[in-house]
Amino acid sequence: MAGNIMSGGLRTLCLPYGDRWKRFRRYQPIQERASRQLILDIVERPKDFTEALTRYAASVIIKITYGKLTPIHHGDEEVVQVIKTLRRFTKAARLGAHSVDRFPWLRYIPGWVAQGRKWHQEELQLFSSQVEGVRREINIPGKRDSCFTSYMLERQKEFSLSDSEAAYLAGSLFGAGSDTTAAALAVVIFAAACHPEESKRVQDELDSVVGDGRKLPFVTAFVCETFRWRPVSAAGFMHATVKDDVYEGHFIPAGSWVIGNHWSIHRDESVFPEPEKFDLSRWLTIDEKSGKTILRPDMRHFAYGFGRRNIKVTNHQ
């Protein structure tokens, strides 16, 4: 339902590995930061920090995606509509949310998928209107900056993207980068507020380190522990096998759903003793040669996903 019907087989997150998936993954937009404004917003209106996080995430990703130069507020109509479609998709993508996911033949019964197709048309119209706005205004001074969508439109024929694919590619980037970013930042603030002794270590490390390429083991450990302790997506997102496989004696046929349950994995007491305890030391060790604190090379972090669909935000594995 969520991938094939509501998204018309065009949403990046749901694409099977193939030619279309390869075309979509060629684009790696450069993220810009609006952290100074976020900090000011939180300092000035600490009770409204969730609104500030949403505005920050939406501002950054909408500028990257559509090149808009005007300030973005979380209540702006276009932001509201995109987040609405994203949350509707997230609800539909839950395991077992729709019978058509368990019984694919239901999609051929008239009327069964009408609502999903209606949502797809609404979503496609929204994403297409944003792309058309870039197409109209990209050459008008003061209207748009160079952005992901302008780059994509310049090379649309080169990469064989249809108008619908182009619209969904840009829309998926905005949808996936706004709501989830705000939620992840909220979890970080939650962890810092609940564990001031650990956040103090992170602050001390940041205060003592200046320059590119420096190692920040406490900062990295804090991020890893935060999303181990409270993963943004507890169950992760469903994957599917592309061919038959056998794992530890279990036969897994092609097309089977595979769920990497982040919550369960990160509470395996054989790997993470006292899993409810917020403990940076589980990620850290002392380097025998230098005597400095470093990240443990044997620890792995799964909150950003698995395989081709993992989120490329950290070098720590």
Asked if 92 and 2 count as a contact pair (C-beta separation under 8 A), the reply is yes
Asked if 144 and 122 count as a contact pair (C-beta separation under 8 A), the reply is no
Q: What average pLDDT does range 98-116 have in this prediction?
A: 67
Those residues whose C-beta lies under 8 Å from the C-beta of residue 255, and which sit 6 or more positions away, are: 240, 241
C-alpha dist (Å) from residue 52 to 22, 183, 234: 35, 12, 24
Chain position carrying tokens 């030619």: 19
Pairing of strands 250-252, 245-247: antiparallel
C-alpha span between 263 and 59 (Å, rounded): 30
3-state secondary structure (DSSP) of residue 144: strand
Kindly report the pTM of this predicted structure. 0.51
Asked if 258 and 252 count as a contact pair (C-beta separation under 8 A), the reply is yes
Residue 107, H or E segment: none
Q: Is the pLDDT of residue 283 over 90?
A: yes
Q: Is the pLDDT of residue 154 over 80?
A: yes
C-alpha span between 106 and 16 (Å, rounded): 21
Q: pLDDT per residue over 255-275, tens digit each? A: 888 887 888 888 999 999 999
Q: pLDDT per residue over 186-230, tens digit each? A: 998 999 999 999 988 888 887 777 554 467 888 889 989 998 998
Q: What average pLDDT does range 128-145 have in this prediction?
A: 84
Asked if 167 and 120 count as a contact pair (C-beta separation under 8 A), the reply is no
Asked if 59 and 34 count as a contact pair (C-beta separation under 8 A), the reply is yes
Q: pLDDT per residue over 45-96, tens digit each? A: 888 888 888 878 877 778 878 887 655 665 677 777 777 777 777 676 666 6
Neighbours of 63 (CB within 10 A): 20
Those residues whose C-beta lies under 8 Å from the C-beta of residue 311, and which sit 6 or more positions away, are: 304, 305
C-alpha span between 213 and 52 (Å, rounded): 29
Domains and CATH numbers, the chain: 1-194 (1.10.630.10), 196-317 (no CATH)
Nearest to 53 by CA among 150, 157, 189, 159: 189
User: In this structure, which amino acid lies at residue 14?
Assistant: C
* Per-residue pLDDT at 285: 93
Residue 227, H or E segment: helix 217-229
Q: What is the dihedral of CA 232, 233, 235, 238, to 10 degrees?
A: -150
* Per-residue pLDDT at 314: 41
* Per-residue pLDDT at 45: 87
**pLDDT tier for residue 10 given thresholds of 50, 70 and 90:** very low
C-alpha span between 224 and 246 (Å, rounded): 31
